[in-house]
Structure 1
Amino acid sequence: MQSHASRHVVSDFLKDLHPDLSEPFPKGVISDEVAEAHGRRAIPKLIAVLALPELPDDVRAHALRILNGLLSTQEHKTNAVAEGAAAPLCRLVAESRDTEVRRLSCNALASLAQVMAGRRSIVSVGGLAVLTDALQTTPEQAAGALKSFAASNDGNALLNEVRSSVVPALVELMQQPADPAFTLAACENAAATLEGITRTDLGVLAALDAGVPACLVALAGRGLNGDLKFESRLMDLLQLVATCLEQICHHAQGKAAAREAEAHKILAELLGLQHRETVKHAAAALMGLAVEKESKVNVMLFAGVQLVRLMRGKDTELANNARDAVAAASEHLEARRTAEMLLGMEERELLLWRGPAPETPPDYRFNVTLPIFTPPRI
């Protein structure tokens, strides 16, 4: 007998379980769509989106956030450089009116500048000039990108090629009054960039032309006694200031500039901090400053007590820096008298001279008082 019941087809194929008759891919690719892509197409897609001339600022900012999240490995940074990311990022820093877009673009350039190929690509599209101009609009992020250059020898060489414009711009940033835009982080990034630039002779000369010693002294004064006194990352900034002054004070022409800026006073205050790295670089800066004849008395007058305290401490490196500073300053008669008042006879032999004291400076032995000449009466 034939059954007239309806038949049911049972299948395990996906087309029978979830029938979808639409096209597998859309006909046109949406060029400005931003999505968190995966694999090899992620970075090229984002760079292509950022290069579009007409794009809303919120979409650009979203794309930049995703790109910055991807630039966390050397492979991704190198891939972004190969795809030409430097050009659209520099264009956004220079032309975008949106503050968030400029900040995120500077952060992306800072990531690219951590690899050698990225530094060269930024320079090839005029990125250093763009970042220099951005120090007044997005100071913290632009200085952070320049800091990435200063962290390497080849990056410092590239910065030195444009030192005549970069160094004055950094000084202008650090001289800005208290303002929400010019934060402690911005000053710290600028000081880190100067610390890298002043590692070379040409960099120190450019720093002297731009008045960096006086600027660093004023910045440290703001940190010790001014508006930056209670900042959480103050010690990192003061360490960079001490390091910059150390490199300047060990330069032949930098000693005079540091003396004129009264760097010995601020370095003496830095010796009293409970931060070893800052104290170490401050003592080394005073050691270089004490070599100059005109600075010997000032070093002992303002920092003699702190240097003697370090000499008596158990930290060998700090004690050696302090001893060399006191020994160099004691070549002057007045400075030597101060050292003799602060140190006992046994301490002079054990800590300072490490043996019998050397001869007294020449102006002590030949200090002769002549009687007033009275002509005879005739």
Structure 2
Amino acid sequence: MKKNLALFGALAFFLNACSSNDLSDEVVKKYEKSLNDSTQKIIQEQMSAFPNLKIDFKNFTCKADKAFVECQSPNFSLSNEKAKIFDIQNIKFRSNEIYTENNISGLISYKDYYAHLFAKHDKLEANLIFENLKLSDESIKVVENASKQLINDEKIAKLMQDLSKDTYNFTYTSLTTKNDKKLNYAFSYKFDNNKENVISTNLKGSFKEEIFTLLDNLNVKFDTDQLAVNLTNSPQKFEEDFNNNFEEFLKQGTLKEFDFNFNLQTNNAFSPYINMAKASLEALQNQSPNEEQNLLYSQVLELINDISKDPLYKLNLALGFKDIPVSDFINLKEESIAKITINGKDFSAILKTINQLSQIENSNPLDEIYP
């Protein structure tokens, strides 16, 4: 029995090894070249648009981590004619969205591209990190001088100066899955200083597979040799065709959720202004005979109290959207939002209140007399 179990375990290990998605050195080198070529192209475009800027970028070096490629570029910096603006200790990139088919060469459709990827992975992941981003001494001095000149409040000016001296990280993450003939995506951005101060956003949505047809119509292909997007048409032709098909792209996409998080250690620098805002809202609430307006003032007061109850201000905004194409958002506006939550409390009714008040303000009393 033990012998059979051992043989079964060895067989399972062997089969797993044979079906491994580990990346070859050849694929990693090809991906590294593609990543550096596209990055250098972006840098050259930015330097052409802003000739006074100087970008110091060292090419990525990449290695395989099973099905993922991991790339790093150290000591990035941005300068102008006079001085350095900021630098980044390390740029890191990690992804498993890598085309590895060796038997196909040339251009393929993005439908075939994603079919290849999802045949190997249940989900596609990408992660970009700017590690230890810091303003230069010259930039910190500019912030300090500007805060002294423009901000009369010493506590707020000091807060701005302290924030400018911190070291920050920026993280971008994407996750793509496929089901029901849709590509589901989740994007997140985070900017923090390894302390208490954080700004982050998360967006979830989906695209119908019809978007691949639109890309084909624009002659957008994937180059399997260069591992990069290929615009068969000229940039001018692509831009013209994209603008003409922009609404069709919006019809194929949906938004599901959006989250925004903001934490800021204020050290009570904004307390006097928070108290003034609350006093003004309370006065408006006492003076207003309108029940809907009073409800709105009450909810805003509750929110301000919750955000500012501690020196560490915290705001979490979560939006849930109706299952409709993005193209419909323009007409529906706030009605496209199914639910809004702020700091864990349901504020969906506030949208209805705002809509009712706007209708009252925009209505003409004479319409009731002379319809």
- TM above 0.5: no
Flag the structure with higher strand content.
2
TM range (shorter): under 0.3
TM-score, structure 1 normalization: 0.24
- Higher RCO structure (Cα 8 Å, ≥6 apart): 2
Pick the structure with greater CA Rg: 1
TM-score, structure 2 normalization: 0.24
Flag the structure with higher helix content.
1
